[in-house]
Structure 1
Amino acid sequence: MPTEHVHSRTGRRLRTEEKIISAAADLFLEFGYKTTTVRGIAKRAEVSVGRVMAAGDKDVLLVRCYDRWIGQLQSGTYTLPARARALTEATQSARTGARPAATSAVQNHLVEIFLPFLEFFAAHEDLSRDYAAALMRVVGKPQVFETLAADLQDKLSSSLVSIGISEAYARASAVALYDSYLGILFRWAASDMSLNEATEALSDSIAFHTQLRRPV
C-alpha cells in the first residue's frame, strides 16, 4: 500500500540520518570540528557524500550532535570521559571550599543540574567553541532552544517551587537561569574562562534567583 511504502521510506531515511549523526559525533569528538570532513563522515557512516549533505552541512551536523549530547546529559545517559570527571571533582572541591556557608542545599542542587553541561564543555573546549560559532550561523531552531530548553526549565522551575517561590516567579526565574547558563557558555567560548569560573558565575545567578519571591 502507498502509505506503508511512505512509512518504510521515512524509516530508512531516519535510520540513515541516525548513522550520519553518530558518525559525525564520533569524528568530531575524536578529531575536532576543523579536521573532520564531510567525506570522512560519509566514509564512517558508509553512505554517499550527497546523503550526508542532505542531512546537513558541517555546522548543522555539529549542532545536531550537540542536541543529542545535551539530551543525553539531561536524561543522565551520557557518560563523561575521565578527564571531565577529574575537572568536576576539582571544581566541586574548589567551590565547596570557597563558599561552604554561602549556598543553600537548593542552590547546590540547581548548580548540580547545570554541572554536567559545564563539564562537557570543559572536556571539549575547542569543539564547544566551534559549536557556539555554528549556532550563530545555522538557520532554524536547534533543540537547545526548544524542547531541550523547555525540559530543563521545567526541572529548574520545580526546584524553585520546592523552596516556596511562587509558580509564576519560579517559571520566570527558570527561564532567566537558562538564559544565564547559555550566556555563560557563550562567554566561555569567547574567552579563557575556566570551569571553576563558569560554575561560580552560574552560582551567583542561582543565588539571586533563589531568593523567596511572592506576588506583592
Structure 2
Amino acid sequence: MPTEHVHSRTDRRLRTEEKIISAAADLFLEFGYKTTTVRGIAKRAEVSVGRVMAAGDKDVLLVRCYDRWIAALQSGTYTLPARAHAIAEATPSARTDAKPAATSAVQNHLVGIFLPFLEFFAAHEDLSRDYAAALMRVAGKPQVFDTLAADLQDELSSSLISIGISEAYALASASALYDSYLGILFRWAASDMSLHEATEALSHSVAFHTQLRRPV
C-alpha cells in the first residue's frame, strides 16, 4: 500500500541519518571539527557525500551531535570518556571547591545538574568552541534551545520550588539559570576560562537565585 511505502522510505531515511550522525560524532570526538571532512563522514557512514549533505553541512551535523550528547547527559545515559574523568579529577574545584557560593543541599544539587555539561565542555574544549561558533551560524532552532532547554528548566524549577520558592519565581529563576549556563559556555568558548572558573561563576548565579522567595 502507498502509506506503507511512504513509512518504509521514511524509516530508511531516518536510519541513514542516524548512521550519518553517529559517524560524524565519532569523527568529531576522535579528530576534531576542523580535521573531520564531509567525505570522511560519508566514508565512515558508508553513504554518498550527497547523502551526508542532505542531512546537513558540518555545522548542522556538529549541532545535531551536541543535541544528542546533551540529551544523553541530561538523561544520565552518557558516560564521560576517560580523558574527561581525568580532567575532572585533576580539577578539585569541579566537585567541591568550585562551589563557594552554594551552601545548601539544594544549591549543591542545582550546581550538580550542570556539572556533567561543564565537564563535557572541559573534556572537549576545542570541539565545544567550534560548537559555540556553529550555533551562531546554523539557522533554525537546535534542541538545546527547545525541548532540551525545557526539560532542564523543568528540573531546575522543581528543585527551586522544593525549598519554598514560589512557582512564578522558580520558573523565572530556572530560565535565568539556564541563560546563565549558556552565557558561561559562550564566555568560556571565547576565552581561557577554566573549569574551576566556569563552575564558580555558575555557583554564584545559583546562590543568588535560591535566595529569592515569594513576596510577603
The bucket for the TM-score relative to the shorter chain is: over 0.9
Superposition pairs of residues 23-34 of structure 1, within 5 angstroms: 23-34=23-34
For residues 101 and 189 of structure 2, the distance between their equivalents in structure 1, rounded to whole angstroms, comes to: 30
For residues 91 and 57 of structure 2, the distance between their equivalents in structure 1, rounded to whole angstroms, comes to: 36
How far off is 1:91 after superposition? 3.9
Contact 1:95 1:200 in 2 (8 A): no
Contact 2:98 2:203 in 1 (8 A): no
Q: Would the alpha carbon gap of residues 97 and 194 (structure 1) be closer, same or farther in structure 2, given more than 3 Å must change?
A: closer
Contact 2:98 2:196 in 1 (8 A): no
How far off is 1:102 after superposition? 5.3
- What do the CA deviations read for 1:18-44 (whole angstroms, capped 9, x no partner)? 000000000000000000000000000
Runs of 4+ displaced beyond 2 Å: 86-102
Cα RMSD of the aligned pairs, angstroms, is 1.5
Q: Would the alpha carbon gap of residues 19 and 197 (structure 1) be closer, same or farther in structure 2, given more than 3 Å must change?
A: same
Superposition pairs of residues 52-67 of structure 1, within 5 angstroms: 52-67=52-67
Identity %: 91
- What do the CA deviations read for 1:87-141 (whole angstroms, capped 9, x no partner)? 2234455763476685111111001100000000000000000000000000000
TM-score by length of 2: 0.96
Bigger CA drift: 94-103 or 184-193? 94-103
How far off is 1:212 after superposition? 3.6
For residues 143 and 99 of structure 1, the distance between their equivalents in structure 2, rounded to whole angstroms, comes to: 28
What is the total number of aligned residue pairs between the two structures? 216
For residues 2 and 98 of structure 1, the distance between their equivalents in structure 2, rounded to whole angstroms, comes to: 59
| Runs (5+) with no aligned partner, structure 2 | none
Contact 1:164 1:212 in 2 (8 A): no
Contact 1:62 1:131 in 2 (8 A): yes
How far off is 1:85 after superposition? 1.6
Instruction: Give the match for residue 185 of structure 1.
Output: 185
TM-score by length of 1: 0.96
For residues 153 and 96 of structure 1, the distance between their equivalents in structure 2, rounded to whole angstroms, comes to: 23
